[in-house]
């Protein structure tokens, strides 16, 4: 299990990245570059004692000693406020529930309306508004006009998601 002290002993936070303080035993990489590698989703991962950790979680732990990096429960995520996985500035990181983290994610690739929470209902022939929080759907109604549906979805996201609301 990794501890706050282990993280502080091994890594240095500089330029919004983590850097090895010393070359780890058996490490063949370039320590003149930020520690770790970037995965297919854009998150930097760092291997410590045989286990991979997301860099943004390690950074958050460095600045918040009482926070528990080993707690992977749904109410202990670390969210990038600006939704940029490569921006690991401590000012951009915040603790979030899984639901809050999802609220701050971008729209799905298959989104056809251009706005999260607005879908075309073929059976009814109108735009449907639906916003989810904690796995519960909140319905905002059906709209003939897409702009009215977008306005309602924006209002609902602001009310339901608060500071984690985003508007594509």
Query: Quick check: 56 and 78 in contact, CB under 8 A?
Result: yes
Q: Which residues of 106-124 are buried (b: 16+ CB within 10 A; e: fewer)?
A: ebeeeeebebbbbbeeeee
Residue 40 and residue 87 in one domain: yes
Torsion angle of the four alpha carbons 77, 83, 89, 95, in this order, in degrees rounded to the nearest 10? -20
Give the residue from 96, 115, 147 where a domain finishes. 96
Instruction: Identify the pLDDT of residue 58.
Output: 97
Q: Assess whether 111 and 90 both reside in one domain.
A: no
Count: domains in the chain? 2
Please indicate, yes or no, if residue 44 is contained in any of the structural domains: yes
How would residue 23 be classed by pLDDT, with cut points 50, 70 and 90?
A: confident
Residues 128 and 155 in one domain: yes
> For residue 106, which phi and psi values (nearest 5 degrees)?
-75, 175
- Verify that 122 and 49 share a domain, yes or no: no
Kindly state whether residue 41 falls inside one of the protein's structural domains: yes
What ranges in the chain are assigned the alpha helix state H?
4-10, 55-63, 98-103, 146-161
* Residue 102 belongs to some domain of the structure: no
- Which of 41, 63, 96 is the C-terminal boundary of a domain? 96
Are 10 and 39 within one domain?
Answer: yes
Q: Residues 63, 9: one domain?
A: yes
Give the CATH number, domain containing residue 42.
3.90.75.20
Residues 37 and 67 in one domain: yes
pLDDT tens track for 30-64: 888 999 999 999 999 999 989 999 999 999 999 99
pLDDT digit string, tens, across residues 79-138: 999 989 999 999 999 999 888 888 777 777 777 788 888 999 999 999 999 998 888 999
Q: CA angle, 149 as apex, 148 and 153 as ends, to 5°? A: 120
Q: Which domain holds residue 125?
A: 107-164
Do 83 and 115 belong together in one domain?
A: no
Task: Answer yes or no: do 80 and 123 share one domain.
Answer: no
Q: Please tell me whether residues 33 and 115 are part of one structural domain.
A: no
């Amino acid at each position: 299990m990794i501890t706050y002290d282990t993280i502080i002993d091994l890594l240095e936070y500089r330029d919004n990245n983590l850097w090895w303080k010393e070359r780890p035993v058996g490490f063949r990489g370039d320590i003149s570059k930020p520690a770790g590698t970037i995965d297919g989703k854009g998150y930097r991962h760092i291997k410590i004692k045989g286990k991979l950790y997301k860099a943004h979680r390690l950074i958050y732990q460095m600045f918040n000693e009482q926070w528990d990096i080993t707690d992977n429960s749904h109410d202990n995520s670390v969210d990038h406020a600006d939704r940029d996985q490569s921006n690991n500035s401590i000012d951009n990181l915040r603790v979030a529930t899984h639901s809050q983290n999802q609220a701050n994610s971008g729209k799905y690739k298959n989104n056809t309306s251009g706005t999260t929470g607005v879908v075309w209902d073929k059976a009814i022939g109108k735009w449907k508004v639906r916003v989810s929080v904690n796995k519960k759907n909140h319905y905002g109604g059906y709209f003939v006009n897409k702009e009215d549906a977008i306005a309602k979805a924006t209002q609902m996201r602001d009310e339901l998601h608060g500071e984690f609301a985003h508007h594509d």
